[in-house]
């Protein structure tokens, strides 16, 4: 059963989000919002494209959510909080809000003359369910021995996620890699016998063992290996723009590192490899270091 989208967030997006085609005349004529309208139109040959003086964006302005937008014409740099954004040639960008994002973040574009266009974004707070687990937080055994095995795996994952590709999937509306019962929603806070542990960093989908799954958006496979101690069979797909997907516990991997994949392309099969209590696909989404809610990308399963 799929949880519905966050209705408050959607309502807020309607209020605070705006799109490139926003017809609201106040946005274009308010001098406070367009401090550099003159500078933004330098002496260049007339372009058929309309010059943009304001930042535009739309999306899910909530913890774990994201926005897509465009910087003003002539912008040379943009940041969300202190994270630099990758700007496409046409000024399009992607940015996202960590599960624990503050309630307010400044989106800022810097123009060639050094002036800035700023927007303060309101990011709605979510309340995260708590899962009480009747087990010790740390498994018995030497942590040194554990880290000896884990360190190369950890380094491989970090290196894969740092790879920059020319993938354009960040521009697409995501689809579910596979549909099935949500056995673990994103963001759930785990508590081990009263001691808070990590939160659930992705969404668990349980369609059954061996069921094939697909790429939720275009991308480049930056990691595809079996045998990770926690993740088991692991696929990481870079979607460009700093956004990537991880698929854990795979029983089979059908792609290779370096391979470009298209949205909807079969990439692997659901399994229970690594640290897993039953067959499911754990789908994690990250933008830089921010952990995101896949449900906000793929929408309701109905
Ligand atoms: Zn999971």
Query: How do the domains of the chain map onto residue ranges?
Result: 7-122, 130-298
283 C-alpha to center of ligand 1: Å?
A: 7
Do 7-122 and 130-298 have matching folds? no
Give me the pLDDT at residue 141, please: 64
40 C-alpha to center of ligand 1: Å?
A: 46
62 C-alpha to center of ligand 1: Å?
A: 21
CA dihedral 188, 194, 197, 202 (to 10 degrees): -20
Give me the pLDDT at residue 137, please: 81
**What CATH number belongs to 7-122?**
2.60.40
Give me the pLDDT at residue 6, please: 37
Phi and psi angles of residue 139, each rounded to the nearest 5 degrees, phi first: -70, 155
Strand residue runs (E) in 8-82: 56-59, 66-70, 75-80
Give me the pLDDT at residue 98, please: 98
174 C-alpha to center of ligand 1: Å?
A: 19
110 C-alpha to center of ligand 1: Å?
A: 39
Q: What span, in angstroms and rounded, lies between the C-alpha atoms of 209 and 167? A: 30
203 C-alpha to center of ligand 1: Å?
A: 6
Q: What span, in angstroms and rounded, lies between the C-alpha atoms of 94 and 138? A: 37
Is 247 in contact with 239 (CB distance < 8 Å)?
no
278 C-alpha to center of ligand 1: Å?
A: 11
Q: How far is CA 174 from the centre of its chain?
A: 11
Give me the pLDDT at residue 51, please: 79
pLDDT tens for residues 11-26? Answer: 333 322 233 333 333 3
Measure Cα distances from 231 to 107, 174, 270, 280, 300 in Å.
Answer: 34, 23, 12, 12, 26
Give me the pLDDT at residue 140, please: 60
52 C-alpha to center of ligand 1: Å?
A: 42
CATH superfamily entry for domain 130-298: Glucose Permease (Domain IIA) (2.70.70.10)
233 C-alpha to center of ligand 1: Å?
A: 13
Residue 233: how many other CB atoms lie within 10 Å: 23
| Parallel/antiparallel/unpaired status of strands 130-133 and 189-192 | parallel
Three-class SS state of 213: strand
Please list the ranges in the chain whose pLDDT falls under 50. 1-42, 45-46, 48
83 C-alpha to center of ligand 1: Å?
A: 26
Give me the pLDDT at residue 128, please: 97
| Beta bridge pairs of residue 221 | 237
DSSP secondary structure code for residue 171 in this structure: G
Q: How open is the CA angle 78-285-161, to the nearest 5 degrees?
A: 75
Is 183 in contact with 206 (CB distance < 8 Å)?
yes
166 C-alpha to center of ligand 1: Å?
A: 28
Give me the pLDDT at residue 50, please: 66
Give me the pLDDT at residue 240, please: 97
């Amino acid at each position: 059963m799929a949880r519905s989208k966050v209705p408050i967030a959607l309502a807020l997006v309607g209020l605070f989000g705006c799109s490139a085609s926003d017809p609201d005349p106040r946005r274009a004529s308010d001098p406070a919002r367009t401090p550099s309208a003159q500078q933004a139109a330098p002496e260049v040959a007339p372009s058929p494209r309309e010059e943009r003086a304001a930042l535009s964006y739309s999306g899910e302005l909530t913890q774990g959510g994201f926005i897509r937008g465009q910087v003003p014409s002539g912008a040379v740099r943009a940041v969300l909080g202190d994270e630099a954004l990758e700007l496409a040639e046409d000024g399009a960008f992607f940015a996202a809000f960590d599960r624990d994002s503050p309630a307010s973040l400044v989106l800022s574009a810097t123009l060639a003359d050094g002036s800035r266009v700023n927007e303060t974004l309101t990011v709605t707070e979510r309340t995260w369910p708590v899962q009480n687990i009747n087990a010790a937080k740390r498994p018995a055994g030497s942590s040194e021995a554990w880290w000896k095995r884990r360190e190369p795996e950890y380094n491989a994952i970090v290196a894969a996620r740092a790879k920059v590709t020319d993938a354009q999937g960040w521009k697409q509306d995501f689809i579910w890699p596979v549909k099935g019962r949500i056995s673990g929603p994103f963001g759930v806070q785990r508590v081990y016998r009263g001691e808070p542990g990590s939160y659930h960093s992705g969404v668990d989908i349980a369609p059954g063992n061996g069921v094939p799954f697909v790429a939720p958006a275009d991308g480049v496979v930056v990691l595809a290996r079996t045998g990770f101690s926690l993740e088991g069979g692991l696929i990481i797909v870079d979607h460009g723009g700093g956004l990537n997907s991880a698929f854990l516990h795979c029983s089979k991997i059908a792609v290779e590192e370096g391979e470009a994949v298209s949205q909807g392309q079969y990439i692997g099969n659901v399994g229970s490899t690594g640290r897993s209590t039953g067959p499911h696909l754990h789908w994690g989404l990250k933008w830089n270091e921010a952990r995101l809610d896949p449900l906000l990308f793929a929408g309701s399963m109905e």
